Amino acid sequence: MPEAARWDGLRLQGEGFVLRRWCADDLAALLRHADDPEVPRGLSDRFPHPYTQADGEAFLAGCVVDLAMPVLAVEVDGQACGSIGLRIGQGERRHGAELGYWLGRAHWGRGLMSAVVGLYAPWAMQALDLYRLQATVLAFNLGSARVLEKNGFAEEGRMRAAVVKDGAIHDLRLFARIAASGG
């Protein structure tokens, strides 16, 4: 299992963005981008709306996701505006992980998240010796599905009636990227 200190100082440079560790100074930017009703529409309920200062503080303290994993801020023009991270499987699933990401609406529609996933996914698979990286997408979230497809993730199936979100039942689409040596 990775230790948080392993990722201290981690910076992955992309074109027009940086991926780096979250820090306490990111709270204001996190609140600005996360407190938008459109952002959590396609995410799990761990991402609340409204997104309060207490929610941001809990996230930055590692109470929402395991910050011992490489959960990174997406930084544009010196400000955090989204996040990408993963959760490594346990036991016989330890060579796979589940990918998650979000981006503030001000940056949608420009290909930024496609570039972020394009930088992060191969780095994570190599750095963590992963054979499989998977992600689930609510069926209506076509933008997120396109991000994955552009980055070598293949759709493996649909989990019917898998999620209740905002009082409605939704299917989940399952995507995965397999390392060349992973079969």
Domain spans, the chain: 4-182
pLDDT at 46: 85
User: Chain-wide mean pLDDT for the chain?
Assistant: 93
Residue 23 near residue 29, CB atoms below 8 Å: no
**Cα–Cα separations (whole angstroms), residue 79 to 39, 68, 104, 114:** 17, 22, 11, 19
Question: Any idea which fold 4-182 has?
Answer: Aminopeptidase (3.40.630)
Q: Of 10-19, 41-50, 72-81, 101-110, which gets the smallest average pLDDT?
A: 41-50
Summarize the confidence of residues 16-44 as an average pLDDT: 95
Is it the case that residue 183 has pLDDT exceeding 60? no
Q: What is the pLDDT of residues 73-119, one digit of tens each?
A: 999 999 999 999 999 999 999 999 999 999 999 999 999 999 999 99
Partnered with residue 19 across adjacent β-strands are 12, 74
Residue 147 near residue 113, CB atoms below 8 Å: yes
CA atoms within 13 A on the CB side of 74: 28
pTM here is 0.93
Question: What is the 8-class DSSP label of residue 2?
Answer: -
Residue 85 near residue 65, CB atoms below 8 Å: yes
Question: What is the 8-class DSSP label of residue 116?
Answer: H
